[in-house]
Amino acid sequence: MTSAPTIGVLALQGDGREHLIALDRAGASSRPVRRPEELEGLDGIVLPGGESTTMDKLARAFGVRDPLRAALRAGLPAYGSCAGMILLADRVLDAPPDQETLGGIDMTVRRNAFGRQVASFEGDVKVTGVEGGPMHGVFIRAPWVEEVGAGVEVLARVEGGEAAGRIVAVRQGSLLATSFHPEVTGDGRVHEMFVRIVIDRQT
Ligand code: GLN
């Protein structure tokens, strides 16, 4: 690996800016992506937190949804946080009937699970593959993962409280997703893990 990997951030809506900063800190060269031609040359992509229904609509309007779906199918590594996790899920519960995802991870997520049922919350989360102690998870009207297929590795579950045991971080191949937003707490370890996934795939 001679140069930093180029990682895009889907910047149609949501907290893309925080991800651009976190990716650059983790050693990537990041840039926003809104249009299909901006997918060219990417080594990976981040799907940010925000509102998955709005991102879905805007992705269709900008003509980027189908090319992005195709790129994911072809193996483009991706990391989705919160709304981005929903976009990477093959199946979604509590979504409007016309909402579609990009898919890629064989899992069912429940939208707004923390917001509706047990309120948005913050708490420590131990994430497999992240060294140096638990992460501080910020869950904002976040999804949780209801069930995963055999090829999906569960990286973290909620440890205590009403949502104890719920899956909040997963990986399937070079696709990574978290219910929480590491980009808002300044803890770069999930972005570092994603940059390693991208680099490992290239070498
Ligand atoms: N509730 C949002 C959705 O369904 C996700 C919230 C978030 O990204 N903080 O897309």
Structure tokens at 202: 């290239």
List pLDDT tens digits, range 140-175.
899 999 999 999 999 999 988 888 999 999 999 999
Backbone angles phi, psi at 190, to 5 degrees: -70, -40
Q: Which domain holds residue 55?
A: 6-202
With respect to residue 61, please indicate whether it lies within any of the assigned structural domains. yes
List pLDDT tens digits, range 74-131.
999 999 999 999 999 999 999 999 999 999 999 999 999 987 655 677 889 999 999 9
Question: How far away, in angstroms, is 180 Cα from ligand 1 center?
Answer: 10
Question: How far away, in angstroms, is 46 Cα from ligand 1 center?
Answer: 15
With respect to residue 89, please indicate whether it lies within any of the assigned structural domains. yes
* Residue 118: per-residue pLDDT: 56
With respect to residue 147, please indicate whether it lies within any of the assigned structural domains. yes
With respect to residue 80, please indicate whether it lies within any of the assigned structural domains. yes
With respect to residue 104, please indicate whether it lies within any of the assigned structural domains. yes
The pLDDT of 3-10, averaged and rounded, is 96
Cβ 140 under 6 angstroms from ligand 1: yes
With respect to residue 1, please indicate whether it lies within any of the assigned structural domains. no
Q: What is the CA radius of gyration of the chain?
A: 15
Cross-strand pairs, 93: 110
With respect to residue 42, please indicate whether it lies within any of the assigned structural domains. yes
Which residue among 10, 13, 15, 82 has the greatest number of ligand 1 atoms within 8 angstroms of its CB, and so is best to mutate? Answer: 82
Cβ 141 under 6 angstroms from ligand 1: yes
183 catalytic per annotation: yes
Cβ 19 under 6 angstroms from ligand 1: no
Please give the tally of structural domains in the chain. Answer: 1
With respect to residue 70, please indicate whether it lies within any of the assigned structural domains. yes
Question: How far away, in angstroms, is 75 Cα from ligand 1 center?
Answer: 25
Any idea of the CA torsion for 179, 167, 96, 38, to the nearest 10 degrees?
Answer: 40
Q: What percent of the chain has pLDDT over 90?
A: 85
For residue 177, the domain's CATH number is: 3.40.50.880
Q: Which of 18, 181, 191, 192 is labelled catalytic? A: 181
181 catalytic per annotation: yes
